[in-house]
C-alpha cells in the first residue's frame, strides 16, 4: 500500500544539525521529495532525489536514501531560526506521468537558542 510516515516533532539547538526522517512502504517509488511549509503558507520544494541515487547535497541540505530499508532523511546543517517550519516528505510512484504524489503528515522542526 501507499504510506509515508514521519515523526511529528523535532527540537534542535541553533547551530546544530537537524535530521528529519521518513519511511515509505512502496518499493516502486521513483522520486522522493522534501518540502518546507512555514505558518500559513504554501509548500516550498526544497529538493528531490531519484530512486537510483543514494545521496544528494545542496548547500546546507543533504538527502540520504536507503532503498533497502525504504528510509529517506533530510539533514540540515547549521540549523538557523529561519529553518523553523513543518517539513514534508513525499513519494511519487508513477514514473511516466504527472499523477499524484503521496505526502507524509509532516515533521514540525523547532529551534531552541
Partner 1 sequence: DGGITQSPKYLFRKEGQNVTLSCEQNLNHDAMYWYRQDPGQGLRLIYYSQIVNDFQKGDIAEGYSVSREKKESFPLTVTSAQKNPTAFYLCASSPSGTGSYEQYFGPGTRLTVT
* C-beta of residue 73 within 8 angstroms of C-beta of residue 64: yes
> In the beta sheet, which residues pair with residue 99?
none
Annotate each residue in 18-57 with x if it binds partner 1 (CB under 8 A) or - if it does not, as one string: -------------x-x-x----xxxxxx--x-x-------
Judged by CB, which is closer to partner 1: 17, or 110?
Answer: 110
Please select the residue that binds partner 1; options are 11, 53, 57, 100, rule is CB under 8 A: 100
Tell me the three state secondary structure of residue 28.
Answer: coil
Q: What is the DSSP string of 34-59?
A: EEEE-TTS-EEEEEEEETT-SEEEET
Among the residue ranges 15-23, 64-72, 77-85, 97-105, the one whose residues contact partner 1 (CB under 8 A): 97-105
Judged by CB, which is closer to partner 1: 40, or 113?
Answer: 40
Q: How far apart are CA 66 and CA 55, in angstroms?
A: 9
Closest contact distance (angstroms) between CB of 35 and partner 1 is 8
Q: How far apart are CA 20 and CA 34, in angstroms?
A: 10
Q: Which chain residues interact with partner 1 by CB under 8 A?
A: 4, 8, 31, 33, 35, 40-45, 48, 50, 88, 92, 95, 97-101, 103-106
Amino acid at each position: 500500500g501507499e504510506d509515508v510516515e514521519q515523526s511529528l516533532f523535532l527540537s534542535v539547538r541553533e547551530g546544530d544539525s537537524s535530521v528529519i526522517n521518513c519511511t515509505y512502504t512502496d518499493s516502486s517509488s521513483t522520486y522522493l521529495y522534501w518540502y518546507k511549509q512555514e505558518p500559513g503558507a504554501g509548500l516550498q520544494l526544497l529538493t528531490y532525489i531519484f530512486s537510483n541515487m543514494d545521496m544528494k547535497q545542496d548547500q546546507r541540505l543533504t538527502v540520504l536514501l536507503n532503498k533497502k530499508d525504504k528510509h529517506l532523511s533530510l539533514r540540515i546543517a547549521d540549523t538557523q531560526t529561519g529553518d523553523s517550519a513543518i517539513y514534508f516528505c513525499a513519494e511519487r510512484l508513477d514514473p511516466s506521468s504527472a499523477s499524484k504524489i503521496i505526502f507524509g503528515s509532516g515533521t514540525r522542526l523547532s529551534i531552541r537558542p
